[in-house]
Structures are given as structure tokens and as C-alpha cells.
């Protein structure tokens, strides 16, 4: 592809030189910490005390620990529910926007993206307030409609707390899904839909037989990327529930923070974080495959 012989021989040197800052950054601040984190997880280290090698015992201890098992379970519940619902709503919104090509489609797009533009570290504060036990606006409405109810214990009961943080994740994540799907939908040729219409297909059939199959590559990338982002979520949990009540909303990241930094048990914290690695590995493997297929096309 790059057959421009006009470039001088020192092209390779220049290329390396230009690449060097990025490589240094990645090796010093990503690869090295990652290896260091593996080292920590295989030792018994606390802040200010060098580690003694203990093999896999941190991981074994963790896998026997009921609290950690709960955190893993929480992470799975949180991720699966969030991702699946975001997928459904995201698709729905993309189809809605595509079908209503009004004058203000630009306005709609701008609005739909707002939850993604404003960082979750700021918008989660508003959600925290909306879930407030005394002054929740949702409960105000519920109590108006059902005068004798006491509203919903958004953050004080385990299941409701999980429900609440999933709700926030959906609110925040749907824009990314819908805008990516919309970009995919728009690139599908109109003739396909017209041909289907002449053969008598209705909207739902067109969606399942044309849109969905053709969106597959976009779906794959968005799902993989979003799964990774969702399971490593930190901001909204840290702000809204701090992992509570009774650890019912602790995810790997908030739990690792509590154990590794707050308690000072670096090895344990590192081991907890490393449970993200298999997911990272699987996601990267598939993403790279999808991206490479895209390149070949």
C-alpha cells in the first residue's frame, strides 16, 4: 500500500521517532503497571512493605471469600442487565430517529447524546438526589398517585439499589448505543427496504430481516466495548451507593478501591482488579477480529 518511493531512506527512523512517545507512555504507564499488578497479586504486600511471594493464594482466598463472590455476582448482574437493556433501547431509539426524519432531527440527535456528553461523575450526583430517601422526586410522584404508599426504597434495599444503579447506567449508556446504531442504519441502502416493501414486508419484518443482520458488525463492536466499560464502571457506584447497602452494589472497581487503597492491602486489591483481565482479554480478542475483518473489506 505504501509504495511511495519518493520518501527518503530515513523514513523508518522518522517513523520510530514519531512513535516513540506513544510507545514510552504505553510501556511506562500501562504495560509496566500491569505487570507490577500481577506481581503484587502474587505476593503479600501492604503499603510501605515489600512483598513476600505467595503464589496464587490471594486468588484462592478471594474465590473462597463470600463477600468477593457477592461482588463478582453483582458485577455480572449489573453488566448483563445494563448491556441487554441498553442494546434493546438503543436499537429502538435508533430506529425511531431514523423513521422520523423531521426538521429537528439535528435537535433530537443533540439531545439524545447529552447523557453521554456530561460526565457520569457529574450527572450521577443528580441521580443520587433523585433517589434521596426523603425527597426523591420519583417517590413524590408515586405518593401522589398512590397516596398510601411509602414510595420506593431506591438506595436502602439491596435489590432496589442494584436496580437504581442499573437504571443510571442505562440512562448514561443508551446514547452511545443509539448513535452508533443510527450510523449503521443510515449506511444501509434504501433500495433493500424498498424491495422488501414491494414484496409486502412490514416494518417489523424489515427490521429483523434487513436492519439487524446488516448491523451485526456494529452490534458486535458496541456490545464488546460496552461490556468492558460497564463491568469496570466506577463513577456512578462511587457516588450513588458507595457499594452499599450491605455491599449489594459493590463492583470489582469499587471493591478493589476499598480493599487495595482504603484498607491498604495492595495485593488483595490488585488481585481483585485482575479479575477484570479475562473479560478484557476476551473482549480484545473479538474486537481485534472484528476490526481486522473490517480492514480486509
Partner 1 sequence: MKNKHKYILIILLIIFLFWTIFPFYWMFITSVKADAELYNHESNPFLVKNFTWEHFDYLFKNTSFLIWFKNSLIICIGVTIITLIISFLAGYSLSRLKLRGSTFWGLLIFIAYLVPPSLLFIPLAQVVDTLKLTDSLFALIMTYPTFTVPFTTWMLMSYFSTIPYELEESALIDGANRAQILFKIMIPVSLPGITTVGIFSFTLSWGEMMYAVIFINSTVKKTLPVGIIGELVHGDVFWWGSLMAAALLASVPLVIIYSFFTDLYVSGLTKGAVKG
What is the C-alpha to C-alpha distance for residues 269 and 23, in angstroms, rounded to an integer? 27
Which residue lies nearer to partner 1 by CB, 56 or 261? 261
Helices 105-112 and 66-99: angle between axes, nearest 10 degrees: 170
Is residue 286 near partner 1 by the rule CB under 8 A?
A: no
Q: Which of 184, 211, 249, 258 binds partner 1 (CB under 8 A)?
A: 184
The count of other CB atoms within 10 Å of the CB of residue 80 is 14
Least distance to partner 1, CB of residue 151, Å: 11
Name which position in 68, 116, 131, 154 contacts partner 1 (CB under 8 A).
116
| Site residue total, partner 1 (CB under 8 A) | 98
Dihedral (Cα; 172, 175, 177, 182), 10-degree rounding: 170
Q: Which of residues 122-181 bind partner 1 (CB under 8 A)?
A: 122-123, 125-127, 129-130, 132, 134-135, 137, 140, 171, 175-176, 179-180
Give me the residue label for grid cell 429502538. 92
Query: Which of 119, 213 has the CB closer to partner 1?
Result: 119
Q: Quick one: DSSP state of residue 90?
A: H
**Per-residue binding letters, 56-95, with partner 1 (x by CB under 8 A):** ---------------------------------x--xx--
Element (H, E) at 164: helix 158-186
Owner of C-alpha cell 433517589: 131
Nearest to 172 by CA among 85, 264, 46, 255: 85
Shorter beta-carbon distance to partner 1: residue 59 or 234 = 234
Which C-beta is closer to partner 1: that of 196 or that of 276? Answer: 276
Shortest Cβ 246–partner 1 spacing (Å): 21
User: Does 104 engage in binding with partner 1 (CB under 8 A)?
Assistant: no
Angle subtended at Cα 192 by Cα 188 and Cα 196, rounded to the nearest 5 degrees:
140
Please list every residue from 40 through 59 that binds partner 1, using CB under 8 A.
40
List 62, 71, 112, 166, residue binding partner 1 (CB under 8 A): 112
Binding segment for partner 1 among 36-44, 61-69, 155-163, 188-196 (CB under 8 A)? 36-44
From residue 236, alpha-carbon distances to 31, 32, 253 in Å are: 27, 28, 11
Amino acid at each position: 500500500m505504501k509504495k511511495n518511493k519518493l520518501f527518503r531512506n530515513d523514513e523508518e527512523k522518522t517513523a520510530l521517532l514519531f512513535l516513540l512517545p506513544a510507545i514510552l507512555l504505553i510501556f511506562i504507564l500501562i504495560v509496566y503497571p500491569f505487570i507490577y499488578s500481577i506481581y503484587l497479586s502474587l505476593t503479600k504486600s501492604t503499603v510501605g512493605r515489600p512483598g513476600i511471594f505467595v503464589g496464587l493464594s490471594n486468588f484462592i482466598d478471594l474465590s473462597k471469600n463470600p463477600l468477593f463472590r457477592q461482588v463478582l455476582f453483582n458485577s455480572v448482574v449489573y453488566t448483563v442487565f445494563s448491556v441487554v437493556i441498553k442494546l434493546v433501547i438503543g436499537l429502538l431509539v435508533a430506529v425511531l430517529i431514523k423513521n422520523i426524519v423531521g426538521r429537528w432531527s439535528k435537535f433530537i440527535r443533540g439531545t439524545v447524546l447529552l447523557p453521554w456528553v456530561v460526565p457520569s461523575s457529574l450527572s450521577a450526583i443528580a441521580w443520587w438526589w433523585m433517589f434521596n430517601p426523603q425527597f426523591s422526586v420519583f417517590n413524590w410522584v408515586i405518593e401522589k398517585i398512590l397516596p398510601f404508599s411509602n414510595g420506593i426504597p431506591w438506595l436502602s434495599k439491596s435489590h432496589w439499589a442494584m436496580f437504581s444503579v442499573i437504571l443510571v447506567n442505562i440512562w448514561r449508556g443508551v446514547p452511545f448505543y443509539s448513535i452508533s446504531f443510527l450510523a449503521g442504519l443510515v449506511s444501509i441502502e434504501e433500495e433493500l427496504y424498498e424491495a422488501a416493501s414491494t414484496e409486502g414486508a412490514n416494518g417489523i419484518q424489515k427490521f429483523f430481516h434487513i436492519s439487524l443482520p446488516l448491523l451485526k458488525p456494529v452490534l458486535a463492536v458496541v456490545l464488546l466495548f460496552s461490556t468492558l466499560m460497564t463491568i469496570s464502571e466506577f463513577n456512578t457506584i462511587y457516588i450513588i451507593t458507595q457499594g452499599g447497602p450491605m455491599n449489594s452494589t459493590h463492583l470489582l472497581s469499587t471493591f478493589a478501591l476499598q480493599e487495595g487503597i482504603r484498607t491498604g492491602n495492595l495485593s488483595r486489591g490488585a488481585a481483585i482488579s485482575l479479575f477484570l483481565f479475562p473479560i478484557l482479554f476476551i473482549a480484545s480478542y473479538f474486537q481485534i477480529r472484528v476490526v481486522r475483518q473490517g480492514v480486509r473489506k
